[in-house]
Amino acid sequence: LSTLVTLQQKQLLLPDSAIKKTKNEQYVYRYVNGKVKKTAIQIVTVSGHNIVQKGLKANDKIIENPDDE
């Protein structure tokens, strides 16, 4: 007899369109107190999903499809 136990944790997911990448960094633009702030992030991609590991928290307001200017 065997049992499979699956634990699910809450994870922050980001669409590709919100993530900007350079050779050395991944970042997003988010709204902070009415201003736009560039924020470095760390993500891991699993089964096509971008899972945030560092740099953002729940309820951060992210700009999708940002311009670089």
| All residues at 6 or more sequence positions from 45 whose CB lies less than 8 Å from its CB, including other chains | 51
What is the tens place of the pLDDT at every residue in 16-59? Answer: 999 999 999 999 999 999 999 999 999 999 888 898 999 999 89
Residue ranges and CATH numbers for the domains of the chain are 13-62 (2.40.420.20)
pLDDT beyond 80 at 61: yes
What is the tens place of the pLDDT at every residue in 1-22? Answer: 655 555 567 888 999 999 999 9
* pTM of the predicted protein model: 0.77
Report pLDDT for 49.
87
30 in Cβ contact with 39 (< 8 Å): yes
DSSP 63: P
Cα 8 versus chain centre, distance: 18
